Amino acid sequence: MNLTSKKCKICDVEKPLNKFGISRIKKDGTVSRKPICMSCKGKIYVKIRCLREGREYIPLTERRARVDVQIKSGTKQCSRCKILKPLDNFYRDKRCRAFGSYCKACCLIYGKENYKHKPHKIITEEMRLQRKLKQRQQTRERNKERYKNDKEYRNKYIIARSVYNTTVRKRRERYRRELTDQYLKNILQKIYSIRWSEFTPEILQELRTVISTRRLLRQLRKEI
């Protein structure tokens, strides 16, 4: 196995490891990477976020054109306090250079309010992760001990591993090829941390079309 590069699950390109986000850092210092490269992640993320929040998806070029119109006029209406203010009263998006919909004064108030209502959310998220890591560590140690001392367990483990290597890997490859719901849900959960209750058929279909077109493009490029 090559440790300096990795294949992206969506675009199928072998890329250096630093093109993949970090999913977690293990205790021995090694870093495990996410299965999808950052360029693929960014391209799909905006669409998925719009679907989640029930907003209309506007392509980057159109958003840039709208910003140009705003710059010409020199003012913008805040969508919270409804006051028409000069453009330097709004924060700007780093990527598309768009102006925020709330003015700076409203952002300050709104941000604080938002935090006041949801501090528990942040804590539970962290606690959940910590608990998961601790549990995983405990079972790993327990199994290691058993593997050393229990001969029957050791034989069972070796058989199970060989079964995994043949059948499970094949099944996984089929899921990947056919883009089953299960496969897409896995991606959504891992990469975009979307909860199970938020999986709608539209989001799944969106991801499916994006992945299949990217794969098709990649194939066409190969043939040329």
Q: What is the dihedral of CA 98, 41, 187, 214, to 10 degrees?
A: 110
For Zn ion, the closer CB: 113 or 125: 113
* DSSP secondary structure letters along 124-168: HHHHHHHHHHHHHHHHHHHHHHHHHH-HHHHHHHHHHHHHIIIII
Which residues are CB-contacts of 63 (< 8 A; sequence separation ≥ 6)? 96, 98
Binds Zn ion (CB under 5 A): choice among 6, 20, 34, 37: 37
Give the dihedral of Cα atoms 183, 213, 210, 218; nearest 10 deg. 80
Q: Which amino acid is at 92?
A: R
Beta bridge partners, 75, equal: 86
Closest approach of Zn ion to the CB of residue 129, in Å = 26
What is the per-residue binding string for Zn ion in 169-188, x denoting contact by CB under 5 A?
--------------------
Do the Cβ atoms of 70 and 99 come closer than 8 Å? Answer: yes
- Residue span binding Zn ion (CB under 5 A) among the ranges 40-48, 110-118, 147-155, 201-209: 40-48
Cβ nearer to Zn ion, comparing 10 with 98: 10
Least distance between Zn ion and beta carbon 85 (Å): 7
Q: Which is nearer to Zn ion, 73 or 166 (CB)?
A: 73
CA dist 175 and 170 (Å) reads 9
Of the pair 9, 51, the CB lying nearest Zn ion is at 9
Near Zn ion in 44-83, by CB under 5 A: 78, 80-81
Assigned token pair, 219 = 């194939």
Does residue 8 belong to the site contacting Zn ion (CB under 5 A)? yes
Binding mask 79-118 for Zn ion (x = CB under 5 A): -xx---------------------x--x------------
CB of 86 to Zn ion, least distance (A): 12
Identify the residue among 20, 35, 40, 48 touching Zn ion (CB under 5 A): 40
Calpha distance 135→144 (Å, rounded): 14
In angstroms, give the least distance from the CB of 22 to Zn ion.
Answer: 16
Q: Which residues bind Zn ion (CB under 5 A)?
A: 8, 10-11, 37, 40, 78, 80-81, 103, 106
